[in-house]
Amino acid sequence: MTPARGVVLMVLGTLAMASSAAMISAIDGEPLSVAAWRCLLAVPMLLPMAAWELLRRTGQAGPSRRMLMGALIAGVALGVDYSFYNTSIAMIGPGIATVLINVQIVILPLLAWMLEGVRPMRQLALIIPLMLAGVALTAGAMDLENLQLAGVLAGLAAGTGYALYLAIIRRSAQESRDSRDRRGAGREHRSAPFTVLSLVCLSAGATTALTATGLGRLQVPEGLEGWGAMLALAFVGQVLTYLCFNIAMTSISETASSTLMLLSAVFAVALAAVIFADIPSAWQLLGCAMIIGGAWWTAAAARRRAGRVIAPTLPAGDSAKSTLDPQR
């Protein structure tokens, strides 16, 4: 695949990601229930791709037990993310809720500092206040009569849940690689992003469904229209988005892919304005720009800090690392 086609697929994936936020807003269902059905219905859609990954492994090692267990644990964090994300969408709209998710990019290094002792980059001392100011403007700090604090807090909680998900997935993948290195050279290992994603969705769906049931809030879709909307959300939000990312990332650089993923927030704001006439104020748009700018600055600074040259293309076997880390 050419880099140009890879860019087109990445843009299509970010548009699908943004569209899923608009679909959640249109469904207007109980947040935990929507999260549960979105994930559970995606599992049978992902299984054919997961089976294809496993069947083409002739002479190659499959995903390690550590990686598979990490996927199940990460799914719990993703379930928390989706639950708060849906709540935030109901309160402040799909556009701003999707923008707020980008705070995960500064929460992730802070989690690594607290849990692993990895000191964050110095730029965060400037980036965090910038993004917090953006959050305040997005919440309506310049219009106290319409302050949307609860919805913004739900969005920040969703970003924290997503950061936990990424931290667990990355730590599991790293420990799996380290374990193979300690055992010495063995069979060639091929990544299995859709196998891992299937387990993540299963775990996230089970977690949110059990929680909703325990709280007496589980809602079952009604009729063909209700099930059709949930199936469409599962396909667009989980299958189409990740399929586009997985293919595109084999032909474009990690720098380009992470930058293009920020378009999901822009698309989400635009779709909310067009479909729901949910037009942010000028101050809120400025806040959104500050959050997206802070996310881009963090990603760029992290790549420079790593001190590595990024190849123009990613090997097909390495695409899973990025595929599991979309901004939304």
Got the DSSP string for 130-164? Answer: HHHHHHHHHHTTT-GGG--HHHHHHHHHHHHHHHH
The answer to the question of residue 218 being in a domain is: yes
The answer to the question of residue 131 being in a domain is: yes
Q: How many CB atoms lie within 10 A of CB 288?
A: 25
Indicate left, alpha or beta for 12 from its phi (over 0: left) and psi (-120 to 50: alpha): alpha
The answer to the question of residue 60 being in a domain is: no
The answer to the question of residue 328 being in a domain is: no
Q: Tens of pLDDT along 61-113?
A: 667 788 889 999 999 999 999 999 999 999 999 999 999 988 888 888 888 88
The answer to the question of residue 84 being in a domain is: yes
For the chain, the C-alpha Rg in angstroms (whole number) is 19
Of 194 and 187, which is predicted with more confidence? Answer: 194
Q: Tens of pLDDT along 194-251?
A: 888 999 999 999 999 999 999 999 999 999 999 999 999 999 999 999 889 878 877 7
Residue with tokens 């969005």: 155
The answer to the question of residue 48 being in a domain is: yes
Q: What is the DSSP string of 198-240?
A: HHHHHHHHHHHHHHHHHTT------HHHHHHHHHHHHIIIIII
The answer to the question of residue 59 being in a domain is: no
Of 205 and 54, which is predicted with more confidence? Answer: 205
Residue 151 has pLDDT above 80, yes or no: yes
Which residue range is the domain that position 139 belongs to? 3-53+65-180+191-323
> For residue 219, which of 37, 2, 3 has the smallest C-alpha distance?
37
Of 290 and 121, which is predicted with more confidence? Answer: 290
Upper half-sphere CA count for residue 110 (Cβ side, 13 Å): 14
pLDDT confidence tier of residue 32, bands split at 50, 70 and 90 = very high
Residue 318 has pLDDT above 50, yes or no: no
Residues 170 and 163 sit within 8 Å (Cβ to Cβ): no
Q: So what's the pLDDT on residue 61?
A: 63
Q: Tens of pLDDT along 256-288?
A: 777 788 888 889 999 999 999 988 889 899 999
The answer to the question of residue 121 being in a domain is: yes
**Tally of domains within the chain:** 1
